[in-house]
Amino acid sequence: MSDCIFCRIARHEIPAAVVYEDEFVIAFEDINPQLPVHTLIIPKEHYEHIGDNVPEETLGRIFATVKKIAELKGLENRGYRIVANTGEDARQTVHHLHVHVLGGALMPIRMGPAD
């Protein structure tokens, strides 16, 4: 999708605070962080969500990158949360597969508005 904001970030058409990148994925800071660490990991190829026939290799790369981000951000011994919202009912706002890595503070029981 040429107009997808995450595709444009992956192509470096839109600036982002990139913390990790390889040929398959890119990880960057969320512009509206919910915790001190709030990094997004996306595949460079466009998939709407985790149920969009994503190849196992791509899913593996994304989740291998979670570990790298946790290490880069000093979370590996503190704990962190990973979230992948899928579809409207899950409040997915950008329809490009992405995983949130959240941490750096005690996790709230509920994050963000419920409505």
Which domains are seen in the chain, by residue range?
Answer: 5-103 (3.30.428.10)
Q: What is the rounded distance in angstroms from the CA atom of residue 18 to the CA atom of residue 1?
A: 21
Could you count the other beta carbons within 10 Å of the beta carbon of residue 38?
A: 17
Is residue 39 packed enough to be buried (19+ CB in 10 Å), middle (13-18) or exposed (0-12)? buried
Per-residue pLDDT of the chain (115 residues; tens, 9 = 90+): 679 999 999 999 999 999 999 999 999 999 999 999 999 999 999 999 999 999 999 999 999 999 999 999 999 999 999 999 998 899 899 999 999 999 999 988 776 655 4
98 catalytic, yes or no? yes
Among candidate residues 95, 96, 98, 100, the one labeled active-site is 98
